[in-house]
Amino acid sequence: MISGGEKQRLAVSRLILKDPPLVFFDEATSALDTYTEQALLQNINSIIKEKQRTSVFVAHRLRTIYDSDQILVLKDGHVVESGTHAQLLEMKGVYAELWHAQELSLAHDADLERNLEVGPDSELAENVTSTDSAQPKK
């Protein structure tokens, strides 16, 4: 059995092999971790540029689309903003708000990952242990 991320990578590969003139990606990287997503997107974008294909990405994860030529922001089924990543950030509207929220979330996740890599003899590990031992047993 293959994972959801493997299924997505396989589907993207099959699509690219078909070489259509117009390519649609609907949440194509949603089951992938951030690092795999960025690697896959670099490959997709280089192939699309090399073959001069038009692509449409539908994404909630804005890092998927930040380097697009044109970004349309939809709210309640209507386009509320459009432009490049830089233009949309400058507008300080819906896109900018979502971008900053997602970036904060990614930074928080990265901090958590770094903390999980801390060894058992660190101050952090001691604090977690002492906090856990202070909890009453049920």
Give residue-wise pLDDT tens across range 10-19.
888 888 888 8
Comparing 51 with 92, the larger pLDDT belongs to 92
Percent of the chain with pLDDT over 70: 76
Residue 115's pLDDT band (boundaries 50, 70, 90)?
low
- Stretch 34-42: mean pLDDT: 83
How far is 44 from 9, CA to CA, in rounded Å? 11
Which residue, among 94, 50, 49, has the nearest Cα to 71 in the 3D structure?
94
Q: Whole-angstrom Cα distance, residue 126 to residue 128?
A: 5
* pLDDT value at 135 more than 70: no
pLDDT bracket for residue 64 (50, 70, 90): confident
Q: pLDDT tier at 117 (50, 70, 90 boundaries)?
A: low
- Could you give the C-alpha distances from 45 to 37, 38, 134, in angstroms and in order? 12, 10, 52
Mean of the per-residue pLDDT values of the chain:
80
The amino acid sitting at 108 is H
Name the residue ranges covered by the structural domains of the chain: 1-69, 70-131
- How confident is residue 73, by pLDDT bands cut at 50, 70 and 90? very high
Q: What is the pLDDT of residue 27?
A: 86
What is the pLDDT at residue 109?
A: 60
Report the relative pairing of strands 54-58 and 71-75 from DSSP bridges: unpaired
Give the architecture (CATH level 2) of 1-69.
Answer: 3-Layer(aba) Sandwich (3.40)
Task: Please tell me the predicted confidence (pLDDT) of residue 114.
Answer: 63
Backbone angles phi, psi at 24, to 5 degrees: -110, 130
